[in-house]
Amino acid sequence: MKARISYSKLGKIRFTGHRDVARIWERSLRKAEVPVAMSTGFTPRLKMAFGLALPTGAESLVELLDVTFADGSGVGADEFDEIARRIDTSLPVGMAVTGIRECAPSEASLQEDVVATTWVMAIDASDVGDRIDRINQSNEVWLERERKGETRRDDIRAGILQLGFLAPEHSEVLPSRWLGESRGVVIEAVLTTAGRGIRPTELVEALVPGCEPWNHLTRVLRINQWIERDGERVDVLSARPAHPQVCA
């Protein structure tokens, strides 16, 4: 039996990295005494499969992982709420379980399945609005970027699926105080994760040419992850709390 779990990562804990989060989950599952299956081999590990890595420093309302329960543990979907509650108590401040559902063995892995994510970004720079218009009107946006130590010039325009100011209806899903604590213009973007993907910092470089992105990106939050079914973008796991806990 496998479960797909979504969780939020907000506040100070956003400065932990992807590897840190994996370790935090390992310890939290053990603390919660969840009967997770172990991998075989010399160094047995808990069977967990994480979705797309969240950049260190970014927050999220929808991080995802799949957890496989041990054979013979007899965990059924009816216990999911109870398990989610136990994990939630074990997670550190700033991380909270926001949803859980059964994951069929036939379902594609999160890494393969997710095609795009929605970001809300606070950018402290001038002329961001003009720059958004220009990107939306052009057919190509060239950017030098690094992957695995190699610098390449790429056209990232096709990967910017949507770009604009924060939609009013989305300001309601933001954690309380989030807007208050962020400086600058708040924008919203849907960026592809397929292929080489586009990072939020790369979008900032496109919006503020020649900048050091983290000097301008004062806050960044992932609010959605999308998969494609029958040609339509759908939410991977829609459960979301009204008021996620924030590490003060």
Interface residues with other proteins (CB under 8 A) are 12-13, 15-17, 19-20, 23-24, 26-31, 33-36, 38, 41-44, 46, 56-57, 70, 90, 92-94, 212, 214-215, 217-218, 247
For other proteins, which is the closer residue by CB, 180 or 231? Answer: 180
Shortest Å, Cβ 80 to other proteins? 16
Task: Report the 10 Å Cβ neighbour count for 101.
Answer: 14
Task: Report the 10 Å Cβ neighbour count for 206.
Answer: 22
For other proteins, which is the closer residue by CB, 34 or 64? Answer: 34
Residue pair 207/135 in contact (Cβ under 8 Å)? The answer is yes
In angstroms, the CA 63 to CA 54 distance is 8
H/E stretch holding 221:
strand 217-229
Shortest Å, Cβ 3 to other proteins? 15
Shortest Å, Cβ 151 to other proteins? 20
For other proteins, which is the closer residue by CB, 27 or 134? Answer: 27
Residue 185 DSSP label: E
232: CB partners within 8 A, 6+ apart: none
For other proteins, which is the closer residue by CB, 33 or 144? Answer: 33
Shortest Å, Cβ 104 to other proteins? 24
For other proteins, which is the closer residue by CB, 131 or 216? Answer: 216
In DSSP terms, which residues pair with 69 in a beta bridge? 36
Task: Report the 10 Å Cβ neighbour count for 198.
Answer: 27
For other proteins, which is the closer residue by CB, 23 or 147? Answer: 23
In angstroms, the CA 23 to CA 203 distance is 29
Whole-Å CA distances, 231 to 51, 115, 224, 234:
21, 12, 18, 9
Shortest Å, Cβ 163 to other proteins? 22
Shortest Å, Cβ 211 to other proteins? 12
